[in-house]
């Protein structure tokens, strides 16, 4: 039963359409002013994202991956240090650790919530462990209260990977405000996604913020004085302008995602599959709507035949990636299991009820066979 029109994973054209004129007018102004790097749009975005994430400072940079790398550099993590990361995440979490010369230590995730657990972290600690990077995977926060308590007790630093979770909360506290530093991605498909790459580090520490401002700009705090080896990792003004135009609607976008998730839950709840987890007191922003489902790969073919996109986030856990084959082997059976069984369905704020129903009916039919 093919749908009238295909259903993509994200619908960025619909997302940008209402803002098209306003964005073009803003880009025109930037061209007129010819101020392209580290200007007023970037500063406005930094201020708004830091406020949204309950922190005092935001430092824009070129990507979410760079945000993680800059955060680790700001904490002076480097060769000889170990950093604990979940195995079930996007590769950038571990890549950033390698970029600063430290060693990622892959730890398995909670089978219920797909996030790090304090027990998992504690079991993986050695005398070299300096930091942990909890990932708020799919938009559901990691258990930051417990992880911060452990980090404090053991003297570990905490960098939150908030790439998939802008606006997510525990109680009324936003992600990004728990660790020493929080890292966001503005990759186009993210909950706040631009028209290109971009990222931001947030922190309540004035010292760390100052360090980050120099690190992202060639290690320079004063023009042409380079005190440390830094990076060219700045967020340009056109990207910052686009993100500033999107940001006032972030709550509406999140509500659209949550509404779509509730529709999916209602339409799929009686089937033989595992729905995305919810957690009491946790504000989930549904970057992804991800099921555990048997016969996943054949289901994907059926969905595709019906014009419905789907995706696997992530088919190979970090500890099995060839890029990390030189590390000591890690045992992460839950990450292995999830990689073989998860399936993400279309998820974006504009997803309509009849689209969700159509997707659910294809899944229902497939499971009935």
Ligand X SMILES: Cc1ncc(COP(=O)(O)O)c(C=O)c1O
What gap in Å lies between CA 105 and CA 132, rounded to an integer?
Answer: 9
Minimum distance, C-beta of residue 186 to ligand X, in the bound complex (Å): 7
Instruction: Quote the crossing angle between the two packed helices 296-305 and 353-368, to the nearest 10°.
Output: 130
Minimum distance, C-beta of residue 21 to ligand X, in the bound complex (Å): 27
Tokens of 254: 């999140």
Minimum distance, C-beta of residue 198 to ligand X, in the bound complex (Å): 7
Name the residue nearer to ligand X (CB basis): 124 or 183: 183
What gap in Å lies between CA 137 and CA 284, rounded to an integer?
Answer: 10
Could you give the strand order of the β-sheet that contains 57-61, starting from the edge strand earlier in sequence?
Answer: 57-61, 199-203, 181-185, 157-161, 129-132, 82-86, 103-107
Q: Strand (E) positions, 64-206?
A: 82-86, 103-107, 129-132, 157-161, 169-170, 173-174, 181-185, 199-203
User: φ, ψ for residue 169 (rounded to 5)?
Assistant: -140, 160
- The residue from 164, 288, 290, 339 that contacts ligand X (CB under 6 A) is 164
Name the residue nearer to ligand X (CB basis): 41 or 65: 65
Stretch that binds ligand X, among 43-51, 59-67, 222-230, 231-239 (CB under 6 A): 59-67
User: φ, ψ for residue 98 (rounded to 5)?
Assistant: -65, -40
- The residue from 81, 82, 160, 161 that contacts ligand X (CB under 6 A) is 161
Name the residue nearer to ligand X (CB basis): 81 or 161: 161
Local structure of 201: helix, strand or coil: strand
Minimum distance, C-beta of residue 90 to ligand X, in the bound complex (Å): 4
What CA–CA distances, in Å, run from 64 to 237, 282, 320? 17, 23, 22
Tokens of 345: 């369905």
* Residue closest to ligand X, measured at CB: 64
- The residue from 45, 107, 135, 362 that contacts ligand X (CB under 6 A) is 135
- The residue from 42, 58, 64, 182 that contacts ligand X (CB under 6 A) is 64
- The residue from 50, 53, 87, 93 that contacts ligand X (CB under 6 A) is 93
Name the residue nearer to ligand X (CB basis): 71 or 150: 71
Do you find a cis peptide bond into 215, omega within 30 degrees of 0?
no
User: Does 286 engage in binding with ligand X (CB under 6 A)?
Assistant: no
Return the residues of window 176-195 that contact ligand X according to CB under 6 A.
Answer: 185, 187
User: Does 63 engage in binding with ligand X (CB under 6 A)?
Assistant: yes
User: Does 243 engage in binding with ligand X (CB under 6 A)?
Assistant: no
User: Does 199 engage in binding with ligand X (CB under 6 A)?
Assistant: yes
Minimum distance, C-beta of residue 291 to ligand X, in the bound complex (Å): 18
Minimum distance, C-beta of residue 308 to ligand X, in the bound complex (Å): 22
User: Of 113, 73, 68, 56, nearest to 292 (Cα)?
Assistant: 113
- Count residues near ligand X (CB under 6 A): 15
Contact 356, 260 (CB under 8 A): yes
Judged by the rule CB under 6 A, the positions of this chain that interact with ligand X are 63-65, 89-90, 92-93, 135, 161, 163-164, 185, 187, 197, 199
């Amino acid at each position: 039963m093919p749908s009238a029109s295909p259903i993509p994973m994200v619908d960025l054209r619909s997302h940008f359409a209402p803002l098209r004129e306003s964005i073009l007018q803003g880009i025109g102004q930037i061209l007129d002013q010819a101020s392209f790097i580290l200007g007023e749009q970037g500063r406005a975005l930094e201020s708004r994202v830091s406020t949204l994430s309950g922190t005092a400072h935001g430092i824009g940079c070129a990507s979410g991956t760079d945000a993680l790398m800059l955060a680790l550099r700001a904490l002076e993590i480097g060769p000889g240090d170990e950093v604990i990361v979940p195995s079930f995440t996007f590769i950038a979490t571990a890549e950033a650790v390698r970029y600063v010369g430290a060693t990622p230590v892959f730890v398995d995730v909670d089978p219920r919530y797909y996030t790090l657990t304090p027990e998992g972290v504690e079991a993986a600690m050695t005398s070299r462990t300096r930091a942990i990077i909890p990932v708020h995977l799919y938009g559901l926060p990691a258990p930051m209260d417990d992880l911060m308590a452990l980090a404090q007790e053991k003297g570990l630093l905490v960098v939150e990977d908030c790439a998939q979770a802008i606006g997510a909360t525990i109680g009324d506290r936003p992600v990004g405000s728990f660790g020493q530093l929080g890292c966001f991605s503005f990759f186009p498909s993210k909950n706040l996604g631009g028209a290109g790459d971009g990222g931001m580090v947030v922190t309540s520490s004035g010292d760390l913020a100052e360090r980050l401002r120099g690190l992202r700009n060639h290690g320079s705090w004063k023009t042409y004085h380079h005190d440390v080896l830094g990076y060219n990792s700045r967020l340009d003004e056109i990207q910052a302008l686009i993100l500033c135009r999107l940001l006032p609607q972030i709550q509406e976008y999140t509500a659209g995602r949550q509404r779509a998730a509730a529709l999916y839950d209602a339409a799929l709840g009686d089937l033989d599959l595992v729905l995305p987890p919810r957690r009491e007191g946790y504000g989930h922003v549904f970057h992804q709507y991800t099921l555990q489902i048997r016969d996943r790969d054949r289901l994907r073919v059926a969905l595709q035949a019906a014009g419905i996109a789907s995706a696997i986030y992530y088919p190979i856990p970090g500890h099995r990636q060839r890029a990390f084959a030189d590390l000591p082997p890690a045992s992460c059976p839950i990450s292995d299991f999830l990689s073989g069984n998860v399936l993400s369905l279309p998820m974006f704020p504009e997803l309509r009820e009849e689209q969700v129903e159509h997707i659910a009916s294809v899944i229902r039919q497939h499971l009935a066979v």
